[in-house]
């Protein structure tokens, strides 16, 4: 869990997740195994209710599996306590949510800064946050509150918030589901650029074909099981460089 | 740290009305503590001042068998001073004086009233009993022929004015009946309901002619540098006077009146406590509602790496801030009011007259001007109580907020 911050190897071994009990029991994930490597731009696809969010929550240390093991850089996350998990989330993992989940009382800049505060990063947090907002094309919107901004702008703030702390892994749960085609593509391009420029590992869930087009790997879920897992040879927007190239 | 204080503040402003309502309950609670304490402590001080300034000084000696209350003023056994006692009084007190209390009938034409007469030494009385608050019409009599000074209530009852004359009937020291026709030198309002309407002042030379005590007296009162030394001085005086006399202090004499204040105090404390419980409920409710409204935000912050303890801190801070702002506003208002009324006082005359309090307060010397007590320590305590109540009452809702699963951010 230490060392270089861009190493994001994640092993999901035989993981099951059950919700509820008795007749109300739901098997959201059923013995899922998956290996994610540094620099990948992986998409988890599948119909609604297939277990995408559940899987991402487990990998993102937001929830714990009912059975099986999740190794983040060879550390079993079930061995970590609440505070240690919070630390992993704060420093190593960035989240982008379907409904943006920005803090409405904070400006765009403060929202991004929040991630730095919680990660306890050093240096000028305000400056770093401003640079990141500039990188996602929101240079002139920094002082505005999210509620005054469009969905595309809000999701770009969320992307900036996820990336500003240089996480090893960014988890994005249906990030384009609440955006129209053009803005969705814009947000995806921002993320694809970050993936290629910085080597940040991305893990998406979606059933949006535009997202799948850009993926380097597509994992299909159905009823909580992995149905298909394939690498994509030449994803859209991958330019001429390979998915793991770094500048 | 500052960042999260700011986040708490912004979240509070978000529900401005609800926040204000919770703060108002804190303001009222803190205000009641300060005003209640200020009033009671003011009353207490006023009772003590009335006792000292009009009745006992710091220490009073009186005949051993003298009754403790009422209009009964026996004249059989009176006190005298020996040289040793006089010497002690001159070296150990700031001032001392003798008084002769008796209970004559004052007769004017067909009307007559039984009153308490205070025979006082014209030269030394003010060394113990100040007359700063006295409002005199006419003159204060000093000699045998000057006559008597009536408190205003008695003058009114008998329809007397200065210059009129009355007959004063009394028993003498030897037990005979005596009556003299004397002029009314003036009328006085002392501002003390235990005196006004109940007492006539008689200069000692005239008291001598009426009661014939042969230089003896019923009360010896003295003032010390510090009123806290009264017990000690009373003990010394007691040993000098022997068992024909008993000594008492302002503290003993004021005790029954102060006890009544303790009851009032408890009553006001209960009211303040009830208000603070309401404030606590208001704050707890406000924070709890915030916790439920912001489930997704809490989840988001947890996903960004905020610990459970951090979430608790965020919500407890909201309670703390409401408590702090409310307490400061309440304390500022309370401080201003107690300070103002500690200087200018509240005139209770009409209140005292309305409830006929002078009957109630016969043995409760108490100025009709109520001066509140301005106390920095009460203000500080009230702020601490207000902040503590608000902070503690936000603990449970904060715990509810912090026990949410971080995965809540991704759903609903
Ligand atoms: N907190 C929960 N309690 C009970 N059932 C849940 C909960 N979360 C998800 N589920 C169920 O688990 C299954 C997988 O859900 P989810 O992971 O959200 O799928 P997806 O994100 O692919 O739509 C669904 O059947 C859903 O109803
Ligand atoms: Mg989902």
Query: Is B97 found in the same domain as B24?
Result: no
Does A19 sit in the ligand 1 pocket, CB within 6 Å?
yes
How far apart CA B153 and CA B352 sit, in angstroms, is 13
Which residue of A57, A89, A106 is in closest CB contact with B305?
A89
Query: Is B140 found in the same domain as B274?
Result: no
- Scan for tokens 């989330």, then name that residue: A89
Flag whether B27 is in a domain: yes
Q: Are B108 and B160 in contact (CB under 8 A)?
A: yes
Kind and range of the H or E element at B114?
strand B111-114
Query: Is B269 found in the same domain as B379?
Result: yes
How far apart CA A215 and CA A87 sit, in angstroms, is 29
Q: Are A45 and A220 in contact (CB under 8 A)?
A: yes
Which of B6, B16, B297, B304 best probes binding to A when mutated, by most A CB atoms within 10 angstroms?
B304
Looking at the CA of A173, which ligand is closest?
2
- Scan for tokens 């205070």, then name that residue: B118
Calculate how close chain B gets to A10, using CA atoms only, in Å: 18
Pairing assessment for the beta strands B105-108 and B165-171 based on DSSP bridges: antiparallel
Q: Which domains does chain A have, with CATH numbers?
A: 10-231 (3.40.50.300)
Nearest to A243 by CA among A42, A40, A43: A40
| Contact (CB<8Å) B304/A89 | yes
Flag whether B240 is in a domain: no
Q: b vs e for B382-397, b when ≥16 Cβ sit within 10 Å of the residue's Cβ?
A: bbebbbebbbbbbeeb
Kind and range of the H or E element at B376?
helix B376-393
Flag whether B340 is in a domain: yes
Nearest to B192 by CA among B8, B35, B54: B54
pLDDT at A242 over 70: no
CB-CB neighbors (< 8 A) of B407 in chain A: 57, 62-63
Which of A89, A96, A164, A166 best probes binding to B when mutated, by most B CB atoms within 10 angstroms?
A89
How far apart CA B314 and CA B294 sit, in angstroms, is 12
Query: Is B295 found in the same domain as B151?
Result: no
**CA-based angle B218:B223:B229, to the nearest 5?**
115
Query: Is B69 found in the same domain as B39?
Result: no
Neighbouring-strand partners of residue A13: A69
Q: What is the DSSP string of B385-404?
A: HHHHHHHHHTHHHHHHHHTS
CB-CB neighbors (< 8 A) of A65 in chain B: none
Query: Per residue, what are the HEC states of B158-196?
Result: CCCCCCCEEEEEEECCCCCEEEEEEEEEEEEECCCCCCC
Query: Is B267 found in the same domain as B213?
Result: no
| Contact (CB<8Å) B410/A98 | yes
**What local confidence, expressed as pLDDT, does residue B353 receive?**
61
Range of the domain at B355: 2-51+256-411
Calculate how close chain A gets to B368, using CA atoms only, in Å: 55
Largest CA distance in chain A: 54
Flag whether B232 is in a domain: no
Look up the ipTM and state it.
Answer: 0.91
Nearest to B409 by CA among B305, B306, B299: B299
Other beta carbons within 10 Å of B5: 14
Does A51 sit in the ligand 1 pocket, CB within 6 Å?
yes
**What local confidence, expressed as pLDDT, does residue B363 receive?**
42
Helix, strand, coil fractions of chain B, as percent rounded to 5: 55, 20, 25
Flag whether B250 is in a domain: no
- Tell me the CA–centroid distance for residue B70 and ligand 2, in Å: 88
Cα Rg of chain B, angstroms: 31
**What local confidence, expressed as pLDDT, does residue B404 receive?**
86
Flag whether B393 is in a domain: yes
Q: Are B196 and B189 in contact (CB under 8 A)?
A: yes
Query: Is B278 found in the same domain as B365?
Result: yes
How far apart CA A235 and CA A134 sit, in angstroms, is 26
Residues 6+ apart with CB under 8 A from B2: none
Query: Is B338 found in the same domain as B296?
Result: yes
Of B200, B223, B246, which one is at a domain's C-terminal end?
Answer: B223
Of B175, B203, B223, which one is at a domain's C-terminal end?
Answer: B223
**What local confidence, expressed as pLDDT, does residue B356 receive?**
52
- Tell me the CA–centroid distance for residue A230 and ligand 2, in Å: 21
Domain count, chain B: 2
How far apart CA B358 and CA B345 sit, in angstroms, is 20
- Scan for tokens 């017990």, then name that residue: B231
Which residue of A98, A113, A119 is in closest CB contact with B305?
A119
Does A5 sit in the ligand 1 pocket, CB within 6 Å?
no
Structure-token pair, residue A158: 């969320």
| Contact (CB<8Å) B405/A62 | yes
How far apart CA B151 and CA B136 sit, in angstroms, is 9
For chain B, list residues with pLDDT below 70: 1, 69-70, 349-368, 412
How far apart CA B211 and CA B176 sit, in angstroms, is 9
Query: Is B207 found in the same domain as B131?
Result: yes
Of B176, B202, B223, which one is at a domain's C-terminal end?
Answer: B223
Q: For the segment B291-313, what is each residue's pLDDT rounded down to a tens digit?
A: 999 999 999 999 999 999 999 99
How far apart CA B150 and CA B138 sit, in angstroms, is 10
- Scan for tokens 């009073």, then name that residue: B60
CB-CB neighbors (< 8 A) of B406 in chain A: 62-63, 89
Other beta carbons within 10 Å of B332: 16
How far does chain A reach from its first CA to its final CA, in angstroms?
A: 24
Query: Is B365 found in the same domain as B296?
Result: yes
User: Any idea how long chain B is?
Assistant: 412
Structure-token pair, residue B5: 């204080």
Determine which residue's CA is closest to atom 3 belonging to ligand 1: A19
Query: Is B93 found in the same domain as B149?
Result: yes
From residue A203, how far is each of A71, A211, A219, B262, B406 by CA, in Å?
15, 11, 10, 71, 19
Nearest to B219 by CA among B292, B128, B148: B128
State the virtual CA torsion across A104, A109, A115, A121 in degrees, nearest 10: -160
Residues 6+ apart with CB under 8 A from B288: B396, B397, B400
State the virtual CA torsion across B153, B154, B159, B163 in degrees, nearest 10: -110
Question: Looking at per-residue confidence, does B263 or A219 come out higher?
Answer: A219
**What local confidence, expressed as pLDDT, does residue B265 receive?**
87
Query: Is B31 found in the same domain as B180?
Result: no
Which residue of B4, B11, B303 is in closest CB contact with A95?
B303
Q: For the segment A80-131, what is each residue's pLDDT rounded down to a tens digit?
A: 999 999 999 999 999 999 999 999 999 999 999 999 999 999 999 999 999 9
Nearest to A93 by CA among A205, A244, A202, A198: A202
Kind and range of the H or E element at B262?
helix B250-293
- The reported pTM is 0.80
Determine which residue's CA is closest to atom 25 belonging to ligand 1: A49
Question: Looking at per-residue confidence, does B324 or A209 come out higher?
Answer: B324
Cα Rg of chain A, angstroms: 17
pLDDT at A132 over 90: yes
How far apart CA A176 and CA A99 sit, in angstroms, is 9
Structure-token pair, residue B249: 């202090």
How far apart CA A41 and CA A6 sit, in angstroms, is 14
- Tell me the CA–centroid distance for residue A52 and ligand 2, in Å: 6
Does A57 sit in the ligand 1 pocket, CB within 6 Å?
no
CB-CB neighbors (< 8 A) of B10 in chain A: 105-106
- CA A17 to ligand 1: nearest atom: 12
- Tell me the CA–centroid distance for residue A221 and ligand 1, in Å: 13
Sign of CA dihedral A35, A38, A40, A44: positive
Which residue of B304, B406, B411 is in closest CB contact with A114?
B304
């Amino acid at each position: 869990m230490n060392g270089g911050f861009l190493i994001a190897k994640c092993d999901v071994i035989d993981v099951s997740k059950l919700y509820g009990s008795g007749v109300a029991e739901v098997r959201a994930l059923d013995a899922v195994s998956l290996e994610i490597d540094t620099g990948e731009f992986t998409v988890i696809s599948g119909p609604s209710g297939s277990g995408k969010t559940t899987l991402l929550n487990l990998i993102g240390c937001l929830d714990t599996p009912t059975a099986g093991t999740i190794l983040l850089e060879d550390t079993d996350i079930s061995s970590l306590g609440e505070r240690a998990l919070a630390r992993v989330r704060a420093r190593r993992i960035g989240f982008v949510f379907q409904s943006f989940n920005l803090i409405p009382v904070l400006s765009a800049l403060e929202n991004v800064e929040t991630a730095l505060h919680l990660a306890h990063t050093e240096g000028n947090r305000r400056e770093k946050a401003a640079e990141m907002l500039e990188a996602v094309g929101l240079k002139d919107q920094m002082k505005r509150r999210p509620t005054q901004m469009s969905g595309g702008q809000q999701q770009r703030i969320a992307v900036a918030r996820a990336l500003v702390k240089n996480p090893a892994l960014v988890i994005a749960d249906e990030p384009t589901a609440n955006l129209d085609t053009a803005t969705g593509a814009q947000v995806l391009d921002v993320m694809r650029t970050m993936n290629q420029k910085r080597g940040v590992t991305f893990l998406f869930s979606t059933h949006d074909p535009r997202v799948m087009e850009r993926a380097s790997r597509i994992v299909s879920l159905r009823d909580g099981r992995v149905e298909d897992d394939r690498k994509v040879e030449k994803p859209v927007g991958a330019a001429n460089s390979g998915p793991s190239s770094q500048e | 740290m500052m960042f999260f204080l700011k986040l708490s503040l912004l979240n509070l402003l978000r529900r401005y009305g609800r926040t204000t309502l919770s703060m108002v309950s804190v303001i009222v609670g803190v205000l009641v503590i300060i005003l209640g304490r200020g009033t009671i402590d003011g009353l207490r001080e006023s009772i003590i001042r009335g006792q000292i300034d009009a009745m006992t000084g710091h220490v009073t000696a009186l005949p051993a068998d003298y009754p403790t209350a009422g209009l009964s003023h026996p004249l059989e056994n009176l006190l005298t001073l020996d040289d040793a006692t006089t010497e002690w009084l001159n070296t150990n007190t700031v001032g001392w004086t003798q008084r002769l209390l008796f209970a004559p009938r004052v007769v004017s034409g067909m009307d007559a009233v039984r009153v308490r007469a205070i025979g006082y030494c014209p030269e030394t009385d003010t060394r113990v009993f100040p007359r700063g608050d006295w409002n005199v019409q006419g003159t204060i009599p000093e000699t045998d022929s000057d006559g008597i000074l009536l408190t205003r209530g008695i003058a009114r009852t008998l329809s007397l004015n200065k210059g009129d004359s009355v007959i004063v009937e009394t028993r003498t020291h030897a037990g005979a009946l005596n009556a003299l026709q004397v002029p009314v030198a003036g009328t006085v309002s002392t501002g003390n309901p235990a005196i006004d309407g109940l007492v006539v002042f008689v200069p000692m030379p005239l008291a001598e002619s009426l009661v014939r005590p042969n230089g003896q007296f019923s009360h010896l009162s003295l003032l010390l540098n510090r009123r806290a030394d009264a017990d000690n001085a009373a003990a010394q005086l007691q040993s000098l006077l022997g068992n024909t006399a008993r000594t008492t202090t302002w503290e003993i004499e004021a005790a029954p009146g102060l006890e009544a204040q303790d009851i009032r105090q408890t009553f006001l404390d209960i009211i303040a406590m009830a208000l603070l419980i309401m404030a606590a409920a208001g704050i707890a409710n406000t924070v709890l509602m915030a916790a439920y409204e912001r489930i997704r935000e809490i989840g988001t912050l947890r996903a960004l790496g905020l610990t459970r303890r951090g979430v608790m801190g965020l919500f407890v801070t909201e309670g703390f801030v409401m408590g702090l702002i409310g307490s400061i506003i309440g304390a500022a208002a309370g401080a201003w009011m107690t300070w103002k009324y500690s200087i200018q006082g509240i005139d209770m005359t009409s209140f005292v007259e309305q409830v006929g309090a002078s009957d109630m307060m016969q043995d409760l010397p108490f100025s009709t001007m109520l001066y509140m007590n301005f106390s920095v320590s009460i203000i500080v305590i009230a702020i601490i109580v207000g902040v503590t109540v608000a902070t503690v009452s936000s603990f449970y809702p904060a715990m509810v907020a912090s026990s949410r699963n971080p995965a809540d951010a991704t759903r609903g």
